[in-house]
Structure formats: C-alpha cells, structure tokens
C-alpha cells in the first residue's frame, strides 16, 4: 500500500471534474517510454520459533528496515516512526502486519526487474542472518491466527482495521495474513488502456491459478488453492471485484472516475496525520460537506490517495496494476511481469489475448473468478473445458509478445525465459498450492512448518 509522509506543498484544490481525469490522462506514454514496475511482498518470521516479529522488538521490523541503510537506503518516517525505506530500487515498505514489500523502480525490461529483485532479496537475507529472521514467499501465513500478528504503526492501517469488519468478514485477513506479487504497466491512450484493462480482468483468474500459493490456514488445509484470492470476495464489495462496467461500450477514464467516486473513503491526510473518513463520500468532499473535514475541499493529492483505496482485480491510477497473484519465490516474482508484459506490451499479442476471452459473458467471467480460488487450473471456462486448456495458448501468446520486444541481456537472451516457471506449472497441471499439499500429506507429516523450509528465500 502507498506510503504518504507529508502533505504536498502548493497542492491544488479540486475545482473541476477534469482534475479527476487528469492523473489517468497523464499516464499516457508513447510505447518507447513504457516501463515495468514490480511489487512483491514477503512474510518475516523468527527462525527460532517462527513467530512474526513485532515492530519494536530487538531484531524486529524497525531494526530490519534500518539495517537497509547499510545498502544505501534512507528512512521514511511517519510521526517519528520509520515506516519505509527509499532507495534507487524504489521503496521498501510495510504491510499491516509487518509483511515486507519492495515497490520496485519503473524499469525498461524484465532482465532489470529480476536483477532488482535479486539485489533486494540478497540484502534482506543478509539482514535476516544478522537478526535471526527468515522470509517466505507465499500467498498467506500458513499457521498464524490474526491474534498472533502485530500491527505496524501506519495511521491508515488503524483506520482500515477499524472499518474492515463493518463491510466484510475477511478484510482483516487481507491486511494481516496475505502477500502478493503485482506488476504496474503503462498504456498509450484511453483506448489502449481500455483494451489492456479488459484483457487484464478477463485473464486475471489464469494468473491467480498459475500463482496459487495459499492452501493453508492456521496450520491446516483450508480447502482452497488461493485462499488469498478468496479473501477478496468477502473483504469489501464496494471496492473489489471484476468491474463489469469495464467491458461495456464506451468505457474509459470518465467511467472509472464515476466508479471511484462511488467507492467509500478511508481517510484524509493532513499535517502528517491520517484523519478517519471511513465510509464517507468523496462526492460530499467535493461539495465541502465531508463530515471528517466540514467546509474543506479535496486537493489533487487527496484524489491520488483515494485512487489507491480501491482493490479490484485490475486497478487504474496513472498506470494499470495487475493484482491477481499470490506471493511466491524469486522466479515467479520475475514470471509475473513476464506474463503480463508479454500479453499487453505488444499489440499483436494483445489482440490475440483479447480474441481468447472476448466472447465470454460477464456472468461467465464472474463464475470463473469465483471458482479459481478453489479449483485453480481445473476451473471451468466459457464454452467448455478448463483454464488448463487455454493456459498453454495464453503463455504462447505471452512468449511471442516478449520475443517481439527484442529486449536482450548481456549474453543475448530475450525475456521469454522468465516464463519457464509458469510453463512448468502448465505442463505438470499442478499449481504451487497443490505441490505444497502433496508435501503436507506425503513429506511433512501434516505439519505446515515444512513450508518454511520450502518457501523461504
């Protein structure tokens, strides 16, 4: 989640609807300027007893963050607490229960993305050796209850934690017990954004299946392959889901703005503090009638903050965020941007991907999204068959898109090799979660602590 530490200077008030559309319009770029931004989260655990470290304990989350100064990172504070680190590879920040996230820099190709990931993991593993902590790539804590997990000292998290139980049953699980991999991608025009948004939403269930990696809850199988994905179905219906309007004729920036205006607010940031505005309306804010700040009008930064508080399967800000994947190991952190860049950054591949899904009805898309958390690649698709039946075709399209980009590393390899972990999953017909379940029953004596060894970086 985004990190805000101070109010913007000379922050313009929002006085027209044009200002609400402007961040999306400003996101338009020529193809030559497209970049790739990859975000990935990991769980932090004590090697001695597997507990999740608190913020303040010796060798805990604050100490881990500050140890990054040895590698050139600089602390970012909120109310005197270090809540993130800024550096040349982007930002290292905290999720609500201390999950460590790298929000990577905007990069030209996936070779750079994978190198960035490698630098980050090398650094945190060295810090982990110093403090006796490890890091695992998974979609959900395999064994922790909510009560066993700490809360990080970020103001917005307290507001969200108070609001979540009012609108869904699993919002606190989303905050405290999950990790994801995301990729942020560019678009050249409103029409290009719309096509990428539609393909991204329609094929997000395939990404969820390929990256499914959260089959355990509190030490036992939970009946899902991606429980992280299932959690979003009972978090907050006002700000999650497949967004049917994206597939309607005429979809564009205006329609997304209307959607965001209907999403209830969480907070307003003023003078270094988060003010609770949970459940209140940005439309009222624009009229000077926000109960949390009566008489005040929103600024452009308030709108940017609000755009970060919706959680659909694909999210639009000044770029598109692909949000369907569970956390996982290094090679899948590199594979997610390869998957989406291959599909979306080459027009021939983008058109081919749309051809795969364009005839699906909204009801069929919703059914697929709802079935994937349990069934993974076995989830049925429109027209018969399963995701397994189209997975190879979609990977082939992504591979052709990456090949067409011609982005080579120093030894002449293009980006297609980063898809191999996903091709292996398709070839064996087993998601990462199913592999974990096999270990659980056959190798771990039904003890999920085996996952710490299997999934640690």
> Do residues 385 and 394 make contact, with C-beta atoms less than 8 angstroms apart?
no
pTM assigned to the model:
0.97
Provide φ and ψ at 44, rounded to 5°. -110, 130
Cα-Cα-Cα-Cα torsion 281, 247, 103, 236, nearest 10 degrees, comes to 40
DSSP state of 13: B
- The CATH number given to 37-239+315-455 is 3.30.590.20
Binning the chain into helix, strand and coil, the percentages to the nearest 5 are 45, 20, 35
> CB neighbours (10 Å) of residue 441?
11
Amino acid 133: pLDDT:
98
Amino acid 417: pLDDT:
98
Residue with tokens 């590393």: 409
Cα-Cα-Cα-Cα dihedral sign, residues 391, 397, 400, 404: negative
Provide φ and ψ at 61, rounded to 5°. -65, -40
Q: Reduced to 3 states, what is the DSSP secondary structure of residue 271?
A: coil
Tokens for 324, please give them: 């369907």
- Domain positions in the chain are 37-239+315-455
Amino acid 210: pLDDT:
98
What's the CA gap between 380 and 388, in Å, rounded? 9
> Do residues 277 and 265 make contact, with C-beta atoms less than 8 angstroms apart?
yes
Q: Reduced to 3 states, what is the DSSP secondary structure of residue 269?
A: strand
Tens-level pLDDT at each residue, the chain (457 residues): 555 555 556 899 999 999 999 999 999 999 999 999 999 999 999 999 999 999 999 999 999 999 999 999 999 999 999 999 999 999 999 999 999 999 999 999 999 999 999 999 999 999 999 999 999 999 999 999 999 999 999 999 999 999 999 999 999 999 999 999 999 999 999 999 999 999 999 999 999 999 999 999 999 999 999 999 999 999 999 999 999 999 999 999 999 999 999 999 999 999 999 999 999 999 999 999 999 999 999 999 999 999 999 999 999 999 999 999 999 999 999 999 999 999 999 999 999 999 999 999 999 999 999 999 999 999 999 999 999 999 999 999 999 999 999 999 999 999 999 999 999 999 999 999 999 999 999 999 999 999 999 999 9
Side-chain half-sphere CA neighbours of 196 within 13 A: 26
Write out 232-247 in H/E/C secondary structure: HHHCCCCCEECCHHHH
């Amino acid at each position: 989640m985004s990190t805000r530490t101070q109010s913007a200077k000379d922050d313009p008030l929002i006085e027209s609807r044009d200002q609400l559309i402007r961040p999306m319009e400003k996101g338009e770029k020529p193809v030559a300027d497209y970049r790739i931004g990859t975000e990935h989260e990991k769980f932090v655990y004590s090697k001695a007893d597997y507990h999740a470290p608190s913020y303040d304990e010796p060798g805990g989350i604050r100490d881990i963050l500050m140890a990054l100064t040895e590698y050139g990172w600089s602390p970012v504070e909120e109310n005197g607490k270090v809540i993130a680190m800024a550096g040349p590879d982007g930002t290292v920040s905290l999720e609500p229960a201390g999950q460590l996230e790298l929000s990577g820099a905007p990069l030209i190709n996936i070779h750079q993305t994978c190198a960035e990931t490698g630098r980050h993991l090398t650094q945190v593993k060295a810090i982990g050796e110093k403090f006796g902590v490890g890091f695992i790539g998974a979609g959900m804590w395999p064994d922790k209850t909510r009560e066993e997990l700490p809360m990080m000292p970020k103001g917005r998290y307290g507001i969200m934690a108070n609001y979540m139980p009012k609108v869904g049953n699993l919002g606190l699980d989303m905050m405290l017990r999950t990790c994801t991999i995301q990729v942020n991608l560019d678009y050249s025009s409103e029409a290009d954004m719309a096509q990428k948004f539609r393909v991204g939403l329609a094929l997000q269930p395939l990404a969820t299946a390929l990256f499914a990696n959260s089959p355990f809850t509190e030490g036992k199988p939970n009946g899902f392959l991606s429980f992280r994905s299932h959690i979003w179905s009972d978090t907050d219906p006002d700000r999650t889901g497949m967004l049917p309007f994206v597939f309607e004729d005429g979809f564009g920036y205006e329609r997304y703005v209307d959607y965001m205006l209907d999403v209830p607010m969480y907070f307003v940031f003023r003078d270094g503090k988060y003010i609770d505005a949970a459940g209140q309306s940005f439309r009222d804010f624009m009229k000077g009638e926000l109960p949390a700040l009566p008489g005040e009008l929103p600024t452009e930064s308030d709108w940017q903050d609000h755009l970060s508080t919706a959680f659909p399967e694909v999210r639009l800000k000044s770029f598109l965020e692909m949000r369907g994947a569970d956390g996982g190991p290094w090679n899948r952190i590199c594979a997610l941007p390869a998957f989406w860049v291959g599909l979306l950054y080459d027009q021939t591949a983008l058109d081919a991907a749309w051809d795969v899904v364009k005839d699906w009805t909204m009801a069929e898309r919703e059914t697929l999204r709802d079935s994937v958390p349990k069934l993974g690649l076995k989830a049925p698709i429109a027209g018969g068959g399963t995701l397994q039946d189209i997975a190879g075709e979609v990977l082939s399209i992504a591979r052709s898109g990456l090949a067409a980009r011609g982005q080579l590393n120093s030894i002449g390899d293009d980006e297609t090799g980063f898809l191999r972990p996903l091709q292996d999953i398709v070839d064996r017909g087993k998601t990462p979660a199913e592999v974990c379940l096999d270990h659980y029953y056959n190798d771990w004596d039904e003890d999920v602590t085996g996952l710490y060894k299997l999934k640690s970086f």
